[in-house]
Structure 1
Amino acid sequence: MHKGSCLCSAVTFEIEGDFCAPDACHCSKCHKQSGHFFASADVARHQIKIHGGEVVTWYHSSENVRRGFCAVCGSSLFWDPIHCDWIAVAMGALDSPTHTKLKMHIFVADKGDYYDITDDLPRNEQ
């Protein structure tokens, strides 16, 4: 069982079982959403139970994706491809220890110019 929350704890969640290793997305939308790159892990919808869901605000960043934020404190929590059977959970919202490590970087062609990616993880340009 993994647990997590937003900054003010108005939204909490529990993940039953394991989830995929997270990736770090460097796309421009994730920059704007999180203030930096966005690290998240994919979780099957049946594995996650969200408490305080009534204060999650959903922003449709595209036709097929919405992003979930706490309406109270503004924490970025979820990246939701609405037609899939999984949801991505922000790694920063999970309580430690997570017992996982980043598996890859995506959209590295869009990364900010103020930082370098210095690890040896796989990278996808787009």
Structure 2
Amino acid sequence: MLKGSCLCGGISWQTEAAPRASVACHCTQCRKTSGHYWSATQVPTEALEMIRADTLAWYQSSPQARRGFCNACGSSIFWQMEGEGMTSIGSGTIDGDSGLTTSKHIYCGDKGDYYDIEPGPDKSA
């Protein structure tokens, strides 16, 4: 069982689904929404249980995708692609140890010039 929340606790979630490894996205949208790159795991949307969603808001960031965030503390929590049936969950929102590893980095060509990508995981795109 994984559980997580936003900074202020207005959003909390849990899932019993086995999450995929984290993927670190360096695209411009992820950098803008998080202030750096965004790392996320993913589970089937139907397996994501909202414990508290008092402050959950959604932003349609493209015609195909939306981002879930806390409208009180500003935490970036979720990302969903239309019709995919999956929800990406910000790895940093997990409460306690996650047991996750980072499997790859994507959109590396869009990364900020102020940091390097650590060696190890695959660096796609």
Q: Please indicate, yes or no, whether the TM-score normalized by the shorter chain is above 0.5.
A: yes
Q: Which amino acid aligns with 2:14?
A: E
| Structure having the larger proportion of residues in strand | 2
Q: TM-score, normalised by structure 2?
A: 0.96
In 1, distance between residues paired with 2:120 and 2:79? Answer: 25
Q: What's 1:87 paired with?
A: 87
Confirm whether residue 6 of structure 1 aligns to residue 6 of structure 2: yes
After superposition, the CA RMSD in angstroms is: 1.0
Instruction: Provide the TM-score with structure 1 as the length reference.
Output: 0.95
1:52 shift after superposition: 2.7
Residue in 2 aligned with 1:71? 71
Q: What's the counterpart of residue 58 of structure 1?
A: 58
1:108-123 correspondence runs (5 A): 108-123=108-123
Give the length in aligned residue pairs. 125
Q: Which amino acid aligns with 2:4?
A: G
Q: Is residue 2:13 matched to residue 1:35?
A: no
Query: Which runs of 5 or more structure 1 residues have no equivalent in the other structure?
Result: none
Please show how residues 94-105 of structure 1 align to structure 2 within 5 Å. Answer: 94-105=94-105
Amino acid at match of 2:114: Y
Structure 2 unaligned runs (5+)? none
1:46 to partner: Cα distance: 1.9
Query: How high is the sequence identity, in percent, across the aligned residues?
Result: 37
CA–CA distance in structure 1, aligned partners of residues 75 and 45 of structure 2? 20
- CA shift for structure 1 position 109: 0.3
| C-alpha separation in 1, matches of 2:118 and 2:21 | 19
